[in-house]
Protein backbone atom coordinates (compact mmCIF):
# COMPACT_ATOMS: atom_id res chain seq x y z
CA UNK A 1 0.00 0.00 0.00
CA UNK A 2 1.16 3.47 -0.86
CA UNK A 3 1.28 6.53 1.38
CA UNK A 4 -0.31 8.67 -1.30
CA UNK A 5 -3.78 8.94 0.23
CA UNK A 6 -5.88 9.09 -2.99
CA UNK A 7 -3.90 6.17 -4.40
CA UNK A 8 -4.45 4.29 -1.16
CA UNK A 9 -8.22 4.75 -1.60
CA UNK A 10 -7.96 3.18 -5.05
CA UNK A 11 -5.98 0.22 -3.63
CA UNK A 12 -8.46 -0.26 -0.80
CA UNK A 13 -11.41 -0.16 -3.22
CA UNK A 14 -9.72 -2.67 -5.50
CA UNK A 15 -9.20 -5.06 -2.58
CA UNK A 16 -12.67 -4.52 -1.06
CA UNK A 17 -14.76 -7.72 -1.08
CA UNK A 18 -17.93 -5.69 -0.48
CA UNK A 19 -17.33 -3.15 -3.28
CA UNK A 20 -20.04 -4.64 -5.49
CA UNK A 21 -22.80 -3.82 -3.00
CA UNK A 22 -22.59 -0.09 -3.82
CA UNK A 23 -24.29 -0.76 -7.14
CA UNK A 24 -27.41 -1.89 -5.32
CA UNK A 25 -28.10 1.62 -4.02
CA UNK A 26 -30.09 4.35 -5.75
CA UNK A 27 -27.40 6.76 -6.89
CA UNK A 28 -28.12 10.37 -7.83
CA UNK A 29 -25.84 12.20 -10.34
CA UNK A 30 -22.42 13.22 -8.95
CA UNK A 31 -23.37 16.90 -9.23
CA UNK A 32 -26.00 16.20 -6.59
CA UNK A 33 -24.14 13.69 -4.47
CA UNK A 34 -20.37 13.44 -4.62
CA UNK A 35 -19.69 11.94 -1.21
CA UNK A 36 -22.27 10.71 1.32
CA UNK A 37 -20.68 10.57 4.74
CA UNK A 38 -23.82 10.48 6.87
CA UNK A 39 -24.78 6.81 6.99
CA UNK A 40 -24.83 7.17 10.75
CA UNK A 41 -27.81 9.50 10.45
CA UNK A 42 -29.83 8.26 7.48
CA UNK A 43 -28.92 5.26 5.34
CA UNK A 44 -29.39 5.33 1.56
CA UNK A 45 -32.18 3.44 -0.22
CA UNK A 46 -31.62 0.31 -2.29
CA UNK A 47 -33.00 -0.17 -5.79
CA UNK A 48 -34.59 -3.32 -4.36
CA UNK A 49 -36.37 -1.17 -1.76
CA UNK A 50 -38.12 0.84 -4.44
CA UNK A 51 -39.18 -2.38 -6.18
CA UNK A 52 -40.39 -4.02 -2.97
CA UNK A 53 -42.36 -0.98 -1.84
CA UNK A 54 -43.96 -0.66 -5.27
CA UNK A 55 -44.83 -4.38 -5.32
CA UNK A 56 -46.20 -4.21 -1.80
CA UNK A 57 -48.50 -1.31 -2.71
CA UNK A 58 -49.73 -2.85 -5.96
CA UNK A 59 -49.97 -6.51 -4.98
CA UNK A 60 -50.37 -6.78 -1.21
CA UNK A 61 -52.05 -3.54 -0.16
CA UNK A 62 -53.82 -2.95 -3.50
CA UNK A 63 -54.58 -6.59 -4.23
CA UNK A 64 -55.20 -8.22 -0.90
CA UNK A 65 -56.49 -5.20 1.03
CA UNK A 66 -57.74 -6.12 4.50
CA UNK A 67 -57.11 -9.83 3.87
CA UNK A 68 -53.39 -9.01 4.17
CA UNK A 69 -53.66 -8.84 7.94
CA UNK A 70 -54.68 -12.51 8.16
CA UNK A 71 -52.26 -13.49 5.41
CA UNK A 72 -49.15 -12.41 7.29
CA UNK A 73 -49.02 -8.72 8.21
CA UNK A 74 -50.03 -9.38 11.81
CA UNK A 75 -46.92 -11.55 12.20
CA UNK A 76 -44.47 -9.14 10.53
CA UNK A 77 -43.41 -7.30 13.70
CA UNK A 78 -42.32 -10.64 15.14
CA UNK A 79 -41.00 -12.43 12.05
CA UNK A 80 -39.03 -9.40 10.90
CA UNK A 81 -37.81 -8.91 14.47
CA UNK A 82 -36.54 -12.51 14.53
CA UNK A 83 -34.79 -11.96 11.20
CA UNK A 84 -33.11 -8.78 12.42
CA UNK A 85 -32.15 -10.59 15.62
CA UNK A 86 -30.49 -13.36 13.66
CA UNK A 87 -28.77 -11.22 10.97
CA UNK A 88 -27.48 -8.35 13.12
CA UNK A 89 -28.20 -8.63 16.84
CA UNK A 90 -27.16 -12.09 18.05
CA UNK A 91 -30.67 -12.66 19.38
CA UNK A 92 -32.44 -16.03 19.28
CA UNK A 93 -36.04 -15.95 17.98
CA UNK A 94 -38.92 -14.66 20.09
CA UNK A 95 -37.10 -11.74 21.70
CA UNK A 96 -37.10 -8.94 19.11
CA UNK A 97 -40.03 -6.94 17.80
CA UNK A 98 -40.35 -4.15 15.19
CA UNK A 99 -42.60 -1.14 15.74
CA UNK A 100 -42.98 2.35 17.22
CA UNK A 101 -40.03 4.75 17.36
CA UNK A 102 -36.86 4.30 19.41
CA UNK A 103 -38.12 6.98 21.78
CA UNK A 104 -41.43 5.23 22.43
CA UNK A 105 -39.73 1.87 22.86
CA UNK A 106 -37.25 3.32 25.36
CA UNK A 107 -40.25 4.51 27.35
CA UNK A 108 -42.06 1.19 27.18
CA UNK A 109 -39.05 -0.90 28.15
CA UNK A 110 -37.56 1.40 30.78
CA UNK A 111 -40.94 1.87 32.51
CA UNK A 112 -41.46 -1.88 32.51
CA UNK A 113 -37.95 -2.40 33.91
CA UNK A 114 -38.14 0.07 36.79
CA UNK A 115 -41.57 -1.24 37.79
CA UNK A 116 -40.17 -4.77 37.84
CA UNK A 117 -37.47 -3.63 40.31
CA UNK A 118 -39.78 -1.40 42.33
CA UNK A 119 -37.86 -1.78 45.60
CA UNK A 120 -34.93 0.03 43.96
CA UNK A 121 -35.02 3.81 43.65
CA UNK A 122 -32.30 4.87 41.18
CA UNK A 123 -31.57 4.67 37.46
CA UNK A 124 -28.03 5.12 36.11
CA UNK A 125 -27.33 6.93 32.82
CA UNK A 126 -24.61 9.13 31.35
CA UNK A 127 -24.55 12.84 30.59
CA UNK A 128 -23.62 12.39 26.94
CA UNK A 129 -26.20 9.83 25.93
CA UNK A 130 -28.50 10.85 23.07
CA UNK A 131 -31.03 13.46 24.24
CA UNK A 132 -34.11 11.29 23.75
CA UNK A 133 -32.71 8.60 26.07
CA UNK A 134 -32.05 11.19 28.79
CA UNK A 135 -35.36 12.98 28.37
CA UNK A 136 -37.42 9.79 28.51
CA UNK A 137 -35.67 8.67 31.68
CA UNK A 138 -36.20 12.10 33.24
CA UNK A 139 -39.91 11.68 32.56
CA UNK A 140 -40.02 8.16 34.00
CA UNK A 141 -38.10 9.28 37.09
CA UNK A 142 -40.65 12.05 37.65
CA UNK A 143 -43.54 9.63 37.11
CA UNK A 144 -42.20 6.99 39.42
CA UNK A 145 -40.41 9.10 42.06
CA UNK A 146 -36.97 7.74 41.11
CA UNK A 147 -33.57 9.41 41.32
CA UNK A 148 -31.34 9.63 38.25
CA UNK A 149 -27.65 8.92 38.87
CA UNK A 150 -25.59 10.63 36.16
CA UNK A 151 -22.17 9.42 35.04
CA UNK A 152 -20.18 12.36 33.61
CA UNK A 153 -18.81 11.10 30.32
CA UNK A 154 -16.10 12.74 28.28
CA UNK A 155 -17.86 13.84 25.04
CA UNK A 156 -14.76 12.73 23.09
CA UNK A 157 -14.81 9.24 24.67
CA UNK A 158 -17.55 7.17 26.34
CA UNK A 159 -18.77 4.95 29.12
CA UNK A 160 -16.46 2.41 30.83
CA UNK A 161 -17.09 -0.53 33.18
CA UNK A 162 -15.07 1.26 35.89
CA UNK A 163 -17.35 4.31 35.77
CA UNK A 164 -20.40 2.07 36.05
CA UNK A 165 -18.89 0.09 38.95
CA UNK A 166 -18.41 3.35 40.86
CA UNK A 167 -22.12 4.18 40.90
CA UNK A 168 -24.25 1.01 40.79
CA UNK A 169 -25.45 -0.46 44.09
CA UNK A 170 -28.36 -2.36 45.58
CA UNK A 171 -30.62 0.63 44.95
CA UNK A 172 -30.06 0.63 41.16
CA UNK A 173 -33.10 -0.58 39.22
CA UNK A 174 -31.78 -0.01 35.70
CA UNK A 175 -28.78 1.25 33.74
CA UNK A 176 -29.19 2.67 30.22
CA UNK A 177 -26.32 3.44 27.86
CA UNK A 178 -25.61 3.57 24.12
CA UNK A 179 -23.49 0.85 22.52
CA UNK A 180 -21.90 3.40 20.18
CA UNK A 181 -21.90 6.97 21.54
CA UNK A 182 -23.71 9.20 19.06
CA UNK A 183 -21.23 12.04 19.45
CA UNK A 184 -17.78 10.49 19.75
CA UNK A 185 -18.37 7.08 18.15
CA UNK A 186 -17.05 5.36 21.32
CA UNK A 187 -17.88 1.63 21.37
CA UNK A 188 -18.85 0.52 24.86
CA UNK A 189 -17.93 -2.90 26.23
CA UNK A 190 -21.48 -4.18 26.72
CA UNK A 191 -20.53 -7.56 28.21
CA UNK A 192 -18.22 -6.05 30.84
CA UNK A 193 -20.67 -3.30 31.80
CA UNK A 194 -23.50 -5.82 32.06
CA UNK A 195 -21.42 -7.96 34.43
CA UNK A 196 -20.87 -4.96 36.69
CA UNK A 197 -24.54 -3.90 36.64
CA UNK A 198 -25.83 -7.43 37.12
CA UNK A 199 -23.53 -7.98 40.09
CA UNK A 200 -25.39 -5.09 41.73
CA UNK A 201 -28.75 -6.67 40.79
CA UNK A 202 -29.69 -3.99 38.22
CA UNK A 203 -31.32 -4.57 34.83
CA UNK A 204 -29.39 -3.41 31.75
CA UNK A 205 -30.73 -1.61 28.72
CA UNK A 206 -28.78 -0.65 25.58
CA UNK A 207 -29.49 1.81 22.78
CA UNK A 208 -28.18 0.20 19.58
CA UNK A 209 -29.09 2.97 17.12
CA UNK A 210 -25.49 3.47 16.00
CA UNK A 211 -24.42 -0.15 16.04
CA UNK A 212 -27.29 -2.13 14.46
CA UNK A 213 -26.14 -3.07 10.96
CA UNK A 214 -22.65 -1.67 11.46
CA UNK A 215 -21.05 -3.28 14.51
CA UNK A 216 -21.73 -6.95 15.36
CA UNK A 217 -23.94 -7.26 18.44
CA UNK A 218 -24.38 -10.41 20.57
CA UNK A 219 -27.36 -9.60 22.78
CA UNK A 220 -27.94 -13.14 24.06
CA UNK A 221 -24.27 -13.88 24.68
CA UNK A 222 -23.57 -10.54 26.38
CA UNK A 223 -26.44 -10.97 28.83
CA UNK A 224 -28.36 -7.88 27.70
CA UNK A 225 -31.76 -7.57 29.39
CA UNK A 226 -33.36 -4.94 27.16
CA UNK A 227 -32.33 -3.12 24.00
CA UNK A 228 -33.74 -0.69 21.46
CA UNK A 229 -32.52 0.77 18.20
CA UNK A 230 -33.62 2.47 15.01
CA UNK A 231 -33.59 1.02 11.51
CA UNK A 232 -33.04 4.21 9.50
CA UNK A 233 -29.25 4.49 9.91
CA UNK A 234 -27.11 1.48 8.95
CA UNK A 235 -30.21 -0.64 8.29
CA UNK A 236 -31.42 1.72 5.52
CA UNK A 237 -35.07 1.51 6.58
CA UNK A 238 -35.88 5.07 5.45
CA UNK A 239 -36.73 8.31 7.25
CA UNK A 240 -38.82 7.58 10.33
CA UNK A 241 -38.67 3.79 9.78
CA UNK A 242 -39.94 1.76 12.75
CA UNK A 243 -37.53 0.87 15.52
CA UNK A 244 -36.84 -2.48 17.22
CA UNK A 245 -36.94 -3.66 20.80
CA UNK A 246 -35.31 -6.70 22.39
CA UNK A 247 -36.54 -8.20 25.64
CA UNK A 248 -34.64 -11.17 27.03
CA UNK A 249 -36.86 -14.26 27.08
CA UNK A 250 -36.49 -14.90 30.83
CA UNK A 251 -37.89 -11.43 31.59
CA UNK A 252 -40.89 -11.56 29.30
CA UNK A 253 -43.37 -12.89 31.84
CA UNK A 254 -42.11 -10.50 34.52
CA UNK A 255 -41.98 -7.12 32.72
CA UNK A 256 -45.20 -5.30 31.82
CA UNK A 257 -44.94 -2.44 29.35
CA UNK A 258 -47.23 0.51 30.12
CA UNK A 259 -48.97 1.24 26.78
CA UNK A 260 -51.66 -1.42 26.88
CA UNK A 261 -53.14 -1.42 23.38
CA UNK A 262 -55.23 -3.97 21.60
CA UNK A 263 -52.37 -5.33 19.48
CA UNK A 264 -50.50 -6.43 22.59
CA UNK A 265 -53.58 -8.21 23.95
CA UNK A 266 -53.71 -11.98 24.35
CA UNK A 267 -56.59 -12.10 21.85
CA UNK A 268 -56.75 -8.80 19.95
CA UNK A 269 -59.81 -9.65 17.89
CA UNK A 270 -61.96 -10.83 20.78
CA UNK A 271 -62.27 -7.15 21.73
CA UNK A 272 -62.76 -8.21 25.35
CA UNK A 273 -63.52 -5.99 28.36
CA UNK A 274 -60.12 -5.83 30.09
CA UNK A 275 -56.44 -5.90 29.04
CA UNK A 276 -54.65 -9.22 29.24
CA UNK A 277 -51.13 -9.16 27.77
CA UNK A 278 -50.12 -11.59 25.06
CA UNK A 279 -47.50 -14.11 26.05
CA UNK A 280 -43.97 -13.48 24.86
CA UNK A 281 -42.57 -10.58 22.86
CA UNK A 282 -45.95 -9.71 21.27
CA UNK A 283 -46.91 -7.99 24.53
CA UNK A 284 -44.55 -5.15 23.54
CA UNK A 285 -46.94 -4.13 20.74
CA UNK A 286 -49.55 -1.46 21.39
CA UNK A 287 -51.44 -0.31 18.29
CA UNK A 288 -51.59 -1.26 14.60
CA UNK A 289 -48.04 -2.01 13.40
CA UNK A 290 -46.55 0.21 10.62
CA UNK A 291 -46.52 -2.55 8.01
CA UNK A 292 -45.81 -0.39 4.93
CA UNK A 293 -42.85 1.22 6.70
CA UNK A 294 -41.34 -2.21 7.43
CA UNK A 295 -40.94 -3.12 3.74
CA UNK A 296 -37.54 -1.37 3.21
CA UNK A 297 -36.04 -3.20 6.17
CA UNK A 298 -36.71 -6.50 4.44
CA UNK A 299 -34.68 -5.46 1.40
CA UNK A 300 -31.81 -4.40 3.60
CA UNK A 301 -31.80 -7.56 5.72
CA UNK A 302 -31.58 -9.65 2.54
CA UNK A 303 -28.44 -7.70 1.60
CA UNK A 304 -26.93 -7.67 5.08
CA UNK A 305 -27.40 -11.41 5.44
CA UNK A 306 -25.59 -11.96 2.15
CA UNK A 307 -22.73 -9.57 2.98
CA UNK A 308 -22.40 -10.75 6.59
CA UNK A 309 -22.11 -8.41 9.56
CA UNK A 310 -18.50 -9.50 10.23
CA UNK A 311 -17.42 -8.38 6.75
CA UNK A 312 -19.35 -5.12 7.19
CA UNK A 313 -17.49 -4.44 10.44
CA UNK A 314 -14.12 -5.29 8.84
CA UNK A 315 -14.75 -2.73 6.08
CA UNK A 316 -16.10 -0.19 8.57
CA UNK A 317 -12.83 -0.33 10.51
CA UNK A 318 -10.82 0.16 7.31
CA UNK A 319 -13.04 3.12 6.35
CA UNK A 320 -12.79 4.84 9.74
CA UNK A 321 -9.04 4.09 9.84
CA UNK A 322 -8.70 5.79 6.46
CA UNK A 323 -10.73 8.78 7.71
CA UNK A 324 -8.36 9.07 10.70
CA UNK A 325 -5.33 9.08 8.39
CA UNK A 326 -6.87 11.75 6.16
CA UNK A 327 -7.75 13.80 9.24
CA UNK A 328 -4.21 13.56 10.59
CA UNK A 329 -2.41 14.27 7.35
CA UNK A 330 -4.73 16.67 5.54
CA UNK A 331 -6.93 18.38 8.11
CA UNK A 332 -4.90 18.63 11.33
CA UNK A 333 -2.75 21.43 9.82
CA UNK A 334 -5.95 23.51 9.66
CA UNK A 335 -6.74 23.00 13.35
CA UNK A 336 -9.02 19.98 12.92
CA UNK A 337 -8.89 17.51 15.82
CA UNK A 338 -10.19 13.97 16.12
CA UNK A 339 -12.76 13.95 18.93
CA UNK A 340 -13.23 10.24 19.48
CA UNK A 341 -11.46 6.95 20.05
CA UNK A 342 -8.64 5.85 17.78
CA UNK A 343 -8.22 2.23 18.91
CA UNK A 344 -10.14 -0.12 16.59
CA UNK A 345 -11.67 -2.02 19.52
CA UNK A 346 -13.26 1.18 20.85
CA UNK A 347 -14.33 2.62 17.48
CA UNK A 348 -17.93 2.48 16.27
CA UNK A 349 -18.91 3.28 12.69
CA UNK A 350 -18.15 7.01 12.57
CA UNK A 351 -15.33 9.45 13.29
CA UNK A 352 -15.99 12.84 14.82
CA UNK A 353 -13.84 15.80 13.82
CA UNK A 354 -13.81 19.06 15.70
CA UNK A 355 -12.81 22.60 14.87
CA UNK A 356 -14.12 26.02 15.86
CA UNK A 357 -16.48 27.37 13.24
CA UNK A 358 -17.15 24.03 11.50
CA UNK A 359 -20.80 25.07 11.18
CA UNK A 360 -19.91 27.57 8.44
CA UNK A 361 -18.47 24.76 6.31
CA UNK A 362 -21.68 22.78 6.21
CA UNK A 363 -23.45 24.82 3.53
CA UNK A 364 -20.52 24.93 1.07
CA UNK A 365 -19.97 21.19 1.65
CA UNK A 366 -23.60 20.45 0.83
CA UNK A 367 -23.40 22.76 -2.22
CA UNK A 368 -20.50 20.61 -3.45
CA UNK A 369 -22.47 17.39 -2.93
CA UNK A 370 -20.48 16.39 0.17
CA UNK A 371 -22.74 15.38 3.04
CA UNK A 372 -21.27 14.78 6.46
CA UNK A 373 -23.21 15.27 9.70
CA UNK A 374 -22.93 18.35 11.87
CA UNK A 375 -23.30 18.19 15.65
CA UNK A 376 -23.33 21.30 17.78
CA UNK A 377 -21.23 23.09 18.78
CA UNK A 378 -18.31 22.32 16.44
CA UNK A 379 -18.37 18.65 15.41
CA UNK A 380 -18.48 17.06 11.97
CA UNK A 381 -19.35 13.39 12.09
CA UNK A 382 -17.97 11.31 9.22
CA UNK A 383 -20.08 8.14 9.02
CA UNK A 384 -19.24 6.07 5.92
CA UNK A 385 -21.77 3.21 5.72
CA UNK A 386 -19.71 0.19 4.60
CA UNK A 387 -22.14 -1.25 2.05
CA UNK A 388 -22.81 2.01 0.23
CA UNK A 389 -19.51 3.92 0.54
CA UNK A 390 -16.21 3.54 -1.31
CA UNK A 391 -12.83 4.69 -0.07
CA UNK A 392 -12.59 6.99 -3.11
CA UNK A 393 -15.85 8.63 -2.03
CA UNK A 394 -14.43 9.31 1.43
CA UNK A 395 -11.30 10.72 -0.19
CA UNK A 396 -13.35 13.00 -2.48
CA UNK A 397 -15.42 14.30 0.42
CA UNK A 398 -12.44 15.14 2.60
CA UNK A 399 -10.61 16.64 -0.37
CA UNK A 400 -13.43 19.17 -0.69
CA UNK A 401 -13.30 19.85 3.06
CA UNK A 402 -9.55 20.43 2.86
CA UNK A 403 -10.01 22.85 -0.05
CA UNK A 404 -12.61 24.80 1.95
CA UNK A 405 -10.29 24.94 4.94
CA UNK A 406 -7.50 26.24 2.74
CA UNK A 407 -9.80 28.86 1.20
CA UNK A 408 -10.92 30.03 4.64
CA UNK A 409 -7.29 30.68 5.55
CA UNK A 410 -6.73 33.15 2.75
C1 LIG B 1 -28.52 6.96 20.04
C2 LIG B 1 -29.84 7.42 19.50
N3 LIG B 1 -30.97 7.13 20.17
C4 LIG B 1 -32.18 7.53 19.71
C5 LIG B 1 -32.28 8.26 18.53
C6 LIG B 1 -33.57 8.78 17.99
O7 LIG B 1 -34.72 8.16 18.41
P8 LIG B 1 -36.03 8.29 17.49
O9 LIG B 1 -35.84 7.35 16.34
O10 LIG B 1 -37.16 7.93 18.38
O11 LIG B 1 -36.11 9.69 17.00
C12 LIG B 1 -31.12 8.57 17.81
C13 LIG B 1 -31.23 9.35 16.55
O14 LIG B 1 -30.31 9.72 15.89
C15 LIG B 1 -29.88 8.15 18.31
O16 LIG B 1 -28.75 8.45 17.65
C-beta of residue 179 within 8 angstroms of C-beta of residue 206: yes
Nearest to residue 148, comparing CAs of 136, 161, 137? 137
- In the predicted model, is pLDDT for residue 356 greater than 70? yes
- Return the residue whose CA atom lies nearest to atom 9 of ligand 1: 102
What is the mean predicted confidence (pLDDT) over 345-368? 96
- In the predicted model, is pLDDT for residue 379 greater than 50? yes
What is the mean predicted confidence (pLDDT) over 330-352? 97
- In the predicted model, is pLDDT for residue 3 greater than 90? no
Structure confidence at residue 1 (pLDDT): 45
Helices and strands per DSSP (H, E), number in the chain: 12, 13
Give the pocket of ligand 1 (CB within 6 Å): 101-103, 130, 132-133, 178, 182, 207, 209-210, 230, 243
Is the pLDDT higher at 377 or at 106?
106
- In the predicted model, is pLDDT for residue 324 greater than 60? yes
d(CA 244, CA 275): 23
DSSP 146: -
**Coil vs helix vs strand at 286:** coil
- In the predicted model, is pLDDT for residue 38 greater than 80? yes
d(CA 270, CA 248): 28
Q: What residues contact residue 162 under an 8 Å CB cut-off, 6+ apart?
A: none
Nearest to residue 207, comparing CAs of 7, 144, 186? 186
Mutate to test the pocket of ligand 1, among 125, 176, 182 (most ligand atoms within 8 A of CB): 182
Structure confidence at residue 31 (pLDDT): 82
Active site residue 130: yes
What is the mean predicted confidence (pLDDT) over 252-270? 97
What is the mean predicted confidence (pLDDT) over 229-235? 98
Q: How far is the CA of 233 from the centre of ligand 1 (A)?
A: 10
Structure confidence at residue 226 (pLDDT): 98
Q: What's CA 348's distance to the chain center, in Å?
A: 11
Structure confidence at residue 376 (pLDDT): 86
Q: Cα(first)–Cα(last) distance of the chain, in Å?
A: 34
Q: How far is the CA of 286 from the centre of ligand 1 (A)?
A: 20
Q: CA 111, 116, 118, 123: dihedral to nearest 10 degrees? A: -50
What is the mean predicted confidence (pLDDT) over 281-297? 98
What is the mean predicted confidence (pLDDT) over 50-55? 98
C-beta of residue 165 within 8 angstroms of C-beta of residue 189: no
Q: How far is CA 90 from CA 315, 349, 379, in A?
A: 20, 18, 32
C-beta of residue 383 within 8 angstroms of C-beta of residue 349: yes
C-beta of residue 212 within 8 angstroms of C-beta of residue 89: yes
- Return the residue whose CA atom lies nearest to atom 8 of ligand 1: 102
Q: How far is the CA of 230 from the centre of ligand 1 (A)?
A: 7
Structure confidence at residue 136 (pLDDT): 98
* Axis-axis angle for helices 131-144, 102-116 (nearest 10): 40
What is the mean predicted confidence (pLDDT) over 264-268? 96
- In the predicted model, is pLDDT for residue 107 greater than 70? yes
**What is the gyration radius of the CA atoms in the chain, in angstroms?**
22
* Mean of the per-residue pLDDT values of the chain: 97
- In the predicted model, is pLDDT for residue 2 greater than 70? no
Which domains does the chain possess?
A: 4-46+308-409 (3.90.1150.10), 72-305 (3.40.640.10)
Amino acid sequence: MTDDLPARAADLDAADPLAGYRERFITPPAAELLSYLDGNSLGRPLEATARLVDAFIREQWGGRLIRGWDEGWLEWPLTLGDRLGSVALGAAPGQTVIGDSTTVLIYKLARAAVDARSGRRTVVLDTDNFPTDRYVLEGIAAERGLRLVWIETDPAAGITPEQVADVVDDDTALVLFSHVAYRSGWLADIAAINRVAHAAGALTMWDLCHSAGSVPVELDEWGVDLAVGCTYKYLNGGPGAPAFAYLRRELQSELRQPIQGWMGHRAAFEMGPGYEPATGIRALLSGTPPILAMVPLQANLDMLEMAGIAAVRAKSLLLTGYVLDLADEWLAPYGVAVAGPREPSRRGGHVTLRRDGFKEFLEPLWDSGVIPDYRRPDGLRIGPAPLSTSFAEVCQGLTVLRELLEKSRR
